[in-house]
Each structure stands twice: as C-alpha cells, then as structure tokens.
A and B are shown apart, each in its own frame.
Chain A
C-alpha cells in the first residue's frame, strides 16, 4: 500500500513536470507569432495599446514573460483572457472542464460498455451470424470518424426526429439538461467502441481456450461465473493497456464534437480562442489537456495491477 502511494506521488510529480514542459512548448510557439490580439481594435491610441500590453505583461522580454507564466502555472494561475478583459482563465477552464468531463465520462462508458459487450458476445458465439455481424460492425465502425457520426446523429435526432427530441440534442438555450448528453457522448465513443470490441473479441477468443477456463467449465460452474469471473478478467488486460491512448483520443475527438453540438466545454473554448487569437486561453486549455491526459493515464496504471496481480509497479 505504501509502495502504491509512493508510486502515485512520483507519477504526480512527473505529470506536473510533463504538463509544464508541454505547455511551455505551446507557450514558446505561440509567442513566436508577431502581432497580438489587440491590433484589431479600432480607435486605439498608442498610449492605450501600450497600457494594454503593460497590463498583460506583454511588453516584458520573453524570458521574463516565460518565468512569470511558469510562476503563475505553479500557483494555479493561468492569467487573464486577452479578448474578454478581466476574465480569469483558471476558474473559466475549471467550469468548462466539468462540462467536458461529463460528456467524456459518458463517452468512455459507451466505449467500454458497448465494446466489451459486443466483443464478448462475438467471441462466445464465434463463427455464428452474431459474430459476423458484430465483427463487421466493428471493422466498419472504427474507420468512421466521430465527427461524421456526430453530423449524422445531429441530422437524425435533431432534424428527422425533431418531434421526439424537441431540439434538445443541440445546445441553444442552455447547457445542463441531461438529455443533451447521450447523443454527443455516443458520437464521441462509438468509433473507439468498435476498436475495444475487436480487441476484446481477440483476447477473449484466446482466453476461453486456456486450460483454466476449461477447468472452470469442467467443475460445473455457471456460465455467467466462468465468463465474467474467469475468462473476462484476463481478457480485459489488453483492453486496459489501450485505455491511455483511448482517453487521449476521446479528448482530441471532443474538440470537434463540442463544436458540432455547441457544448460549452474545453474543446469549444480551444477552437474559439485559436480563431480569436486569445493565446492565453489556448495555452491554458492546453495545460489542462496535458494534465488531464496525465491523470487519466495514472488512473489506468493504478487500476491495472488490480486486474492483473502479476504486474507490480
């Protein structure tokens, strides 16, 4: 137990370092750009511009700006929006993270739940029509990008089924109604669900042929126990290893999904800020993403030994 805590502590330090390192790259990249967000403002006197630049510390030399920024990040302060004056970025992004995380968790649930279900059923009914159907769905499904699924989901649920959905799939009046969550979450999770299904089927097929599963059957255990407790637990291991890339994929996918469905989360903020040249927010969102991916990977690595006791830190 103590070993686990030490391990988690070490990883947290590493995540913090990685996050700052990666956002530093983004910081330095964006600060290479000539011009700034204020140049488009009309009727601006040179004094006013100088005052603006001074307010944001943009008149300082770059090393100074960078050390100020690192100092801010370490203290949890990501600065102020360049476009919406006076808006503090950290609380804004925390609020948006909660929205993105809600959709993301639901998407992950769809991915893992549906993927495991299809994979296990396909493996247990190998070479029957159930298997062929599930396998071909998976082989087609993981090539259809989530934004394509989102477009058609919007067309079907937002337009053709308007009478049922009453436009709730599309955020236009306010976010927060739970009925708005499933459609974007399914669009986001579906391509990865097919991937999980393929992987589960393959590893399940391998596992159900092992001796210990045969023993379990021979002992006369119930099918449910054999499948869920003996076979699935080992078949899950390869699935857990791809959870890290999967979460990165869901975060990347959420950028486009949030823009299609108008979800006020991190992904929408990211694109809006890039287009508005609000670089402080872009860097801030990136810092959040790097930290989120790091924490997600850490969670996976902590869960991993629980499934497979052979693995130690």
Chain B
C-alpha cells in the first residue's frame, strides 16, 4: 500500500493590511488638537493649575496678611492688581483662590464620578428593582433646585453638626451628594444600550463575571461621555463654591475664595472697582476655559454630536 501523498500546501505568504491601531483616547486627542477654542481652554486651565501649584509654596505676600499698603490702593508696580479693603495684596489672593478653585473643581468631579458611575452601572446592568429605585431618585432630583439643597447641606454638615470643619471638603461633599444624578443617568443610559451588544454577550459566554463585564467591557466603552460629563461638572462646582462664598455661606474669611473676594469688593465698588474686577474676571475665565474644553471633548469623543 503506497503511502498517501502528503497534501501539498501552497506556500502562500499571508499578509494583512494591519489597520492603524487607535485607542479611544488617541482618537479623541487627534480630533481635540484640531479644535482651536478647546485648546485655548486647555491652555487657560494649564495656567490655572500652574498658578495653583505655585501658590502652595509661594505667593508675593501671604494671602491673609493685611495692611501691606494703603487700603483700596489701585494697581501699581509693586501690587499689580492693587490692594483690597483690608490692604491685602489682591494678586496673592487670586493665586490662593486658584488653588481653592482647582481643589473644589477637581475634587467634586472625582467624588461625583465615584458615586454616579457605580450607581449608573448597577442600575443599567441589573435593571429591575435596583434600577427602579435609582431612577426614581434621579427623576425626583431633576425636579428640584439641587444647588439650594447643596447650600443647606453645606450649612448643616459644617456649621451645625460639626461633622466636617467648614472648608473645601464640605463644599465638595455637599455638591457631589446633590449632583451625582447627572453622571448616574448618563452611565445608566450607556449601560442599558451596551449590555445588549455582541461583545458583552461574548464576554458572558466566555464566563466573565458580572464585575469583570462591568469594569472591563461596559465601563471602558462608556468612558468618552463620562469624561465629558465630569469635565462639565468642574465649572459647575467652581461656580457653586463662588456662589456660596459670595453669599457669605461658603468658605470662612480670610480664605481667598474668588466668590468671597467679589463680595468684599462689591461693597466698595463705586470708588475701587479693581477689587471686584480681579476675582470676577478670574472666575469667568476659568468657567469659560472648562466649558470650552468640555465642548471640545464632547465633539472629540463623539463626532456625530458636533454642533
């Protein structure tokens, strides 16, 4: 019996045209780089961060030091932004305020996401009763002025209960506790649609546990919109802090909060408008920068949404 001839296999070199591998973040970054106004926003935020970091180790004068010169002094070479009603150097206080702004903004965005993302994932993934409860909360919260609840919460947590000394932390917590619904709603919606997709099905067939499916498959695919939402939470938190401090319910004096500085300057506005000008311009620029970056990120992550 002759041996069967081996099946001849044609020696073909298989070459694939490997498409350029692009991750979500790389892709978004490429699109963001073309968006000039978002880049301007990013540069302003960069300056804000640098100023905030510098203010930790150095400011021209201590932020609380009074009477470094005549009160209400207009800008001069020695004091580029002038002095306020207590003779404090406004430039130093603006720098100190930048640090508070950064702390409040970024801290709030982080805590808000830490609350909102898990709740949104759970509501969207398990549906049923859990979803009903979480969605009920979210829907009720959409019908009330949440910032005013946060205002009461700041008051209750700090002044009255002494749970947390009144400071940046209590503002962050109050804001996050009343604002996680935006993120949760977004994540829930994303999860609801992602959980039906084939790759999640495939992961389930592969025996992935729920936790792995949520963290490794669903969450990364919802990351773009989450980043956008978190970016928009930053200016909202900054504005909330300024709003509280302006009304005298926020950070206690002599903390150099921009809102409190605006409130201070507002009383002597008719003869020394420079005091109120510096913090309000700094605040508006910061809010603008974050909104521009947020808009840019939204367009970058989801080009279809471009407007």
Report which A residues bind B (CB closer than 8 A): 15, 18, 21-22, 25-26, 29-30, 32-35, 139-140, 142-145, 147-148, 151-152, 154-155, 159, 198, 202, 244-245, 248, 251-252, 255-256, 259-260, 270-271, 274-275, 282, 286, 289-290, 293-294, 297
User: With A and B bound together, what is the CA distance between A34 and B160 in angstroms?
Assistant: 7
| Other-chain contact of A155, B269, B284, B288 (Cβ < 8 Å) | B269
Question: What are 24 A-B residue pairs whose CB atoms fall within 8 Å in the complex?
Answer: A22-B140, A25-B149, A26-B149, A29-B152, A29-B156, A32-B160, A139-B291, A143-B235, A144-B284, A144-B288, A145-B242, A148-B280, A159-B270, A244-B142, A245-B142, A252-B145, A252-B147, A252-B148, A256-B247, A259-B247, A274-B249, A275-B249, A289-B144, A290-B143
* A151 in contact with B145 (CB, 8 Å): no
- Hey, which chain B residues are within 8 Å of A144, CB to CB? 284, 287-288
| Chain B 24-43 residues near chain A, CB threshold 8 A | 37
Also in contact, A256 and B246, with CB within 8 A (given A21-B140, A26-B152, A142-B291): yes
**When A and B form their complex, which 5 residue pairs have the shortest distance between CB atoms, in order from nearest?**
A33-B160, A143-B288, A202-B307, A143-B287, A148-B280
Q: A140-B288, A143-B287, A274-B249 are in contact. Are A154 and B269 (CB under 8 A)?
A: yes
B226: interface (CB < 8 Å) = no
| Nearest-Cβ distance from residue B68 to partner chain A, whole angstroms | 25
Bound form: Cα–Cα A37–B37 in Å: 51
> Is the Cβ of A18 less than 8 Å from the Cβ of B144?
yes
Take A21-B140, A145-B239, A159-B269 as given contacts and tell me if A248 and B145 are in contact as well, using a CB distance cutoff of 8 Å: yes
B151: chain A residues at CB < 8 Å are: 274
Return the contact of B152 from the options A251, A282, A290, A293 (Cβ within 8 A).
Answer: A282
A22 to B269, CA, bound (A): 39
Minimal Cβ-Cβ distance residue in B for A253: B243
Docked-complex contact A148 and B283, CB < 8 angstroms: yes
Q: A22-B144, A155-B270, A251-B145 are in contact. Are A271 and B160 (CB under 8 A)?
A: no
Instruction: Contact check, A151 vs B288: say whether CB atoms are below 8 A apart.
Output: no
Beyond the given pairs A286-B148, A290-B143, A294-B143, 6 more chain A to chain B contacts, judged by CB atoms under 8 angstroms and listed by A's residue number, are A33-B156, A202-B307, A274-B155, A275-B248, A282-B152, A290-B144
Q: Which of B144, B147, B153 has the most CB of A within 10 A?
A: B144
Expressed in whole angstroms, the minimum distance between the Cβ of B148 and any Cβ of chain A is 6
Chain B residues with CB under 8 Å of A245's CB are: 142
By secondary structure, the B interface counts as helix
CB contacts (< 8 Å) of B291 on chain A: these are 139, 142-143
The A-contacting residues of B in range 190-238, CB under 8 angstroms, are: 235
Docked Cα-Cα span, A189 to B273, in Å, equals: 24
Asked if B262 is at the interface (CB within 8 A of a chain A CB), the reply is yes
- Chain B interface size band reads 35 or more
**B22 part of interface (Cβ distance < 8 Å):** no
Cβ of A270: which chain B residues have Cβ within 8 Å of it? Answer: 148
Within 8 A of A (CB), among B246-288: 246-249, 262, 266, 269-270, 273, 276, 280, 283-284, 287-288
- Chain A CB within 8 A of B56 CB: no
Residue of A nearest to B140 (CB): A18
**Residues on B with beta carbons closer than 8 Å to the beta carbon of A274:** 151-152, 155, 249
* Cβ contacts under 8 Å, B155 to chain A: 274
Q: Are B148 and A255 in contact (CB under 8 A)?
A: yes
B156: chain A residues within 8 A (beta carbon): 29-30, 32-33
Contact status of A143 and B148, CB under 8 A, knowing A151-B266, A256-B246? no
CB distance from A302 to the nearest CB of B (A): 15
Q: How long is the Cα–Cα vector from A148 to B288 in the complex, in angstroms?
A: 13
- A145 contacts B283, CB within 8 Å? yes
Measured between beta carbons, the chain A residues less than 8 angstroms from B144 are: 18, 22, 248, 289-290, 293
B77 at the interface (CB under 8 A from A): no
Shortest Cβ distance from residue A47 to the other chain B in the assembled complex, whole angstroms:
26
A210 CB to nearest chain B CB (Å): 16
Interface 1/0 per residue, B157-201 and A, CB below 8 Å: 000110000000000000000000000000000000000000000
Evaluate contact between B269 and A297: CB separation under 8 angstroms: no
Task: Give the residues in chain A near B37, CB-CB below 8 Å.
Answer: 139
